[in-house]
Chain A
Amino acid sequence: MAGDAALSRRGIAKWLAHLALLPASALMLIPFYWLLKTSLTGENLFVYPPRVWPDDPNLFHFVDVWYAVPFIRYLWNSVLVSALAVVSNVVLNAMAGYALAQGFRGQRGIVLLLLSSMMIPFQVTVVPAYLITRELGLLNSHLGMALPLSSTIVCIFLFKASFSAIPRSLTEAARIDGMSEWRIIREIHLPLSKAAVATNVVLAFVWSWNSFLWPLLVARDQQMQTLPLGLAAFLSVVEDTSGALYAFCVMVLMPGLLVFLMAQRHFIAGLTAGATKG
């Protein structure tokens, strides 16, 4: 019957999808496995041909890293910088997005300004940025490292899209009730934009977590260095010849993956707002 045919077609389609998705998933995950395997292997890294399973697995490389590198210190610095960046991102971007969503004269110019700012890569701004940071007295500080990353244009537009989707009547009613704009943002718009907030959190986190060149210039003492710096320094000392390097990478991955897994659901929902309205 027609209904059965349609059902079985759907069934076949599902199997075909799995058939394509499984190898693709494997391709995505294999690099992680390979990293993990290398960090756990007890034998010489350069034995040929490379083994698929770790030979004599142990945690020696991890211990090596622990003693060679002030991992907790680096982690703490990275976490602090990222926390500052994330919090300021949510606050600044929400405010800016709200202003854009409500509309005002001169808006078009601002939007163009922001869009063109996106085309300026960070690396070419470091010297003036360094000078400004110095004037502010923020060199060699967590705030100094977080400041250039404390607002992102993509996220401003995400908030704008999300806020624009909130019915005007709701906002008007709140105004009539005498709520200040700040309270409106805090108590009405933000709670309704959980997805945008989550997106903001994840993107701001990823971009500040990754930040390598800026802390390189701003962090003078070894005490202030962040994880990417520590990792790059470690890499230049051992090149690719030490299992400890790979153990370091595994240790560096953990926090990032954790944040992702926690924010995953909201983040993915958040991209809906950006994708369809953007």
Chain B
Amino acid sequence: MSFLVTICACSSDSAPPRTLYVLTFNMPHMEAEFSLWAKEFRRLHPGFDVQQIDRKGSNWAAYYHTQVIAGTAPDIIDTQGAIWLQYASQGGLLDLSRYLERDRDFTNQFYPELIESWRYGGKNYGVPLYFTKTLLFYNKQMFKEAGLTQPPRSFAELMSHARKLAGTGRYGFMTLNFDWLYWPLFAMNDIRLVTPDCKRAAFNTPAARMLIEELAAATAEGIISPTSWTGRWVEPNGMFAAGNVGMFNAHSTALLWIMSNAQWVNEGSVGFAQMPGDWSVPNAHALHISASTRYPEQAWDFIKIVTQGSGALAFGKKLNSPTGNRVVNAQLREYFAQTNPMVLDVLGTQFEYLDRMVANWPLARDTEIKHAFYPEIQSAILGNKSAADALASAERKVNHILSRPGGIPEDCG
């Protein structure tokens, strides 16, 4: 009998490691950091291994959806922005509230607002991985030439600044447009997307119509760059990096991209401030555990390795980005103070006015709503449609999406 037990023990030692899969969102150059985390994980859980699968943003959903249908959903996923809402609402993500409660020391390291960001229907689904939100960056040289000294503090000032900055081959203002990043323009004009109970669209107002008409006129006159509405990532960032744009509404990650592509960018040449009204749109990443995972405890431990201590520090240094973890951010601050003071200053703004974040509605159908809303607005701003038509059409579509059951949590708004 003991002989058989010995054999069994031997065979489990030589059994292949049980592997956890981590699907990351557009993080291709993290092999070094990942192997660090993997090593720590293997030490903590012998007999287990962990592997990274990375997908570019445009392919991420296609890959993830296919894996889910095939029954092989990755154990841990990294999401950007609001895509996680859909999966949480459909029961695809594990409720992490229990773990967050149990490991209080861990949970307390994070900014409470961020932990709240990944709450849906009263449950917590994500652990913050890194955090970024929008700012207004401006070209100080262009400001000087236009006789401007201060960044704008109201929408009217924003537009008049832009008018002064624009010229041949130069634009006064530009914005990124994915994931609702342009929403501060709406927020500062008192426009809401949905009613407080999240049940109906609320944006078809005279204020919205005026805003869109003004943006359309400015874009047509060459004051706002059309790339704001049609560009993706490289193009708009590249334009600011080329020194052709006076003001740029973008998140801190964009600035870091620009800095790595333009030598002239430093504290003296580029200023930054909150958008008028201090409104900002977050575009953060979080780690989630799939509801279908066979190893939730191990997955949780891996998440802890990545989001605290030396694991998170290595991540923040590589990405030049703050994490969601206060303790780690303090260490990162020291690091950036020595290596890149400008980054330090920018990153300081990222945790101000966390109560003025917008475009972070807990709507499960966020992606669909985005797909319905933005093309209409874009069409109107590019002059292909009247603002009234675009808003009416968008309102109709958004209302239809909201009317379908299951997209709105009880505690919405």
Contacts and interface: CB of A to CB of B under 8 A. Distances in A.
Contact of A216 (B57, B59, B69, B235): B59
Interface in B19-64: 53, 56-59, 62-63
Interface in A226-247: 233, 236-241
B69 A217 contact: no
Contact of A237 (B56, B62, B66): B56
B234 A131 contact: no
Contact of A241 (B57, B59, B63, B235): B235
Nearest to B57: A236
Interface string A124-162: 001100110010000000000000000000000000000
B294 to A, nearest CB: 17
Contacts of A130: 66, 69-70
Contacts of A220: 53
Q: How would you classify the secondary structure of chain A's contact residues: helix, strand, loop or mixed?
A: helix
Contact of A217 (B56, B63, B233): B63
B62 A217 contact: yes
B232 interface: yes
Contacts of A126: 66
Nearest to A131: B70
Interface in B219-255: 232-235, 238
A233 B232 CA distance: 14
Using C-beta atoms within 8 Å of the partner chain, give the interface range for chain A.
10 to 19
Interface string A97-134: 00000000000000000000000000000110011001
Given A134-B70, A220-B53, A239 B232 contact: yes
Contacts of A239: 232-235
Nearest to B236: A239
Interface residues of B, number: 16
A131 B69 CA distance: 8
Name the residue in B57, B62, B70 with the highest tally of chain A Cβ atoms < 10 Å from its Cβ: B70
Interface in A204-218: 216-217
A239 B72 CA distance: 32
A220 B23 CA distance: 11
Interface in B54-113: 56-59, 62-63, 66, 69-70, 72
Contacts of A216: 59, 62-63
A233 B56 contact: yes
Given A127-B66, A131-B70, A241 B238 contact: yes
Given A131-B69, A241-B235, A241-B238, A236 B53 contact: no
B66 A236 contact: no
B234 A238 contact: yes
A127 B238 contact: no
A127 B69 contact: yes
A33 B265 CA distance: 37
Nearest to B238: A241
A52 B59 CA distance: 36
Q: Which of A237, A238, A240 has the most CB of B within 10 A?
A: A237
Contacts of B232: 239
A217 B53 contact: no
B121 to A, nearest CB: 28
A126 B67 CA distance: 12
Contacts of B70: 130-131, 134
A239 B227 CA distance: 13
A1 B69 CA distance: 80
B371 to A, nearest CB: 18
A151 B62 CA distance: 26
Contacts of B234: 237-239, 241
A131 B68 CA distance: 11
Contacts of B56: 233, 236-237
A126 B234 CA distance: 30
A118 to B, nearest CB: 25
Contacts of A238: 234
Nearest to B58: A236
A217 B235 contact: no
A155 B257 CA distance: 49
Interface string A172-190: 0000000000000000000
Interface of B: 53, 56-59, 62-63, 66, 69-70, 72, 232-235, 238
5 contacts: A130-B66, A216-B62, A217-B66, A236-B56, A236-B58
Interface of A: 126-127, 130-131, 134, 216-217, 220, 233, 236-241
For the complex of A and B, the 10 pairs showing the least CB-CB separation, nearest first, are A239-B234, A217-B66, A236-B56, A134-B70, A241-B234, A130-B66, A236-B58, A239-B235, A241-B238, A127-B69
